[in-house]
Chains A and B, each alone.
Chain A
Amino acid sequence: MAVRRTLTVAVSLATLTLGVAACGGAGGSRADDPSPDHRSSPASTAPAPAAPAAAHTVARATGAEVAVYADPDAPVPERHLPGTTEFGFRRSFLVLDEQGDALEVLLPIRPNGSTGWIRRADVELQPVDHEIDVDLEARTLTLRAGGDVVLETPAAIGAPDAATPTGRFFVTDLLDTGDPDHDYGPFAAGLSGYSNFISEFAGGDGQIGIHGTNDPASIGEAVSHGCVRVPNDVITTLATTVPIGTPVTIH
């Protein structure tokens, strides 16, 4: 399966930008991001102009662990990641580039934006045409499919002292809380990114996510610990629509 070079370029640029803006919080707007995939639309309900289908590629682990190499020709891996997440989902990676049997992927580890190379034999490839865009300045979340806007909603973002990190991430987990009145609403989507302010939270390691809320009045405010809160009906749609591996750009 061919990986789109345009995506590769876009994501590489995003990764570079991330290194500069990682701790920028709400001020870390990526207005300079030149990639079409990352360009944020204004807070508007009008569908985006016709755009080419966003064919992203997700690699899913097939074994108990995935070896990660520093470069495509490295003989020895620099690390291994478990083949499943802590919530039992197959370990996924957003594919950035390919070179022979090696795939450059965005890794779900600290620091945010880390990349590495994995072997094609260790994963299955899957196309994903959904993508999520979070605009911290506008405090909105937009879901696109094939380049078309599916929904756009106000969102709560991290408070100034726990700002939502910016950069390119992807969905790693889709959780059902079993309770619409849960702090996180009925569903929560784990992302591949981590808070730059919090290293431990509720037994977790500071992983950020997108979730619902039992405090709908907070939507649109900068009040969270770094996660992105959306109305419960929106997170329900997201959780039942987007696949694991869906790219999420926060800017």
Chain B
Amino acid sequence: MSIRSRILGAAAAGTALAALGIPGVAVGAAPDGPGEEGVEQPCVVDCGPVEPGPDDGGGFDPQGPGSFQQCTENEVTPGDDCYDHPQDPGGGGSNSGGGSPGSGGEDAPRRADPNFTG
């Protein structure tokens, strides 16, 4: 029996997991008897949306939009923290736009209405 199953057999676990906001967790009857054997639950726990991290313009952003945290099967115990599964590097974030054009130097033409003799 996995750690997870044993936990789900404990009456207290229901409350604990409920506190984590995990949907669909079966909770054994309590306090009479050992309680029913727990039911295997999907190990993936959606810990809820996380705040998108800053978009640094590219590269892997583990906290970027759409990422979520997952828990491993063996670590689903009350009070455990979720952790990030390794994820494939995401696509490049959107660039914030190119920098402003350079000044072109001291001799670059300047916008002006000429008043030469024409």
Contacts and interface: CB of A to CB of B under 8 A. Distances in A.
A and B are partners in one complex rather than unrelated chains: yes
Interface of A: 87-90, 158, 162, 173-178, 183-184, 187-188, 190-191, 195, 198, 201-204, 206-209, 211, 224-227, 239-240, 243-244
Interface in B76-118: 106-118
Contacts of B107: 89, 174, 243-244
A184 B112 CA distance: 11
Interface residues of B, number: 13
Given A174-B107, A244-B107, A201 B113 contact: no
Contacts of B106: 89-90, 244
Most buried by A among B112, B113, B116: B116
A224 B110 contact: no
8 contacts: A175-B114, A178-B111, A188-B116, A202-B116, A204-B116, A208-B116, A209-B114, A225-B117
B114 A211 contact: yes
Contacts of A174: 107-110
A208 B109 CA distance: 17
B112 A209 contact: no
Interface of B: 106-118
B117 A175 contact: no
A202 B109 contact: no
The 5 A-B residue pairs with the shortest CB-CB distance in the complex, in nearest-first order:
A204-B115, A209-B116, A176-B109, A188-B114, A226-B117
A250 to B, nearest CB: 13
Nearest to B104: A240
A225 B118 contact: yes
B111 A207 contact: no
A176 B112 CA distance: 6
Contacts of A209: 114, 116-117
A198 B117 contact: yes
B110 to A, nearest CB: 6
B112 to A, nearest CB: 5
Most buried by B among A175, A190, A211: A175
Contacts of B118: 183-184, 201-202, 211, 224-227
B117 A208 contact: yes
A224 B117 contact: yes
Contacts of A178: 111
A204 B111 contact: no
A1 B104 CA distance: 26
B114 A190 contact: yes
B114 A88 contact: no
B117 A201 contact: yes
A26 B90 CA distance: 70
A202 B110 contact: no
Contacts of B109: 174-176, 187, 239-240
A202 B114 CA distance: 8
A176 B111 contact: yes
Contacts of A201: 115-118
A97 B34 CA distance: 107
A209 to B, nearest CB: 3
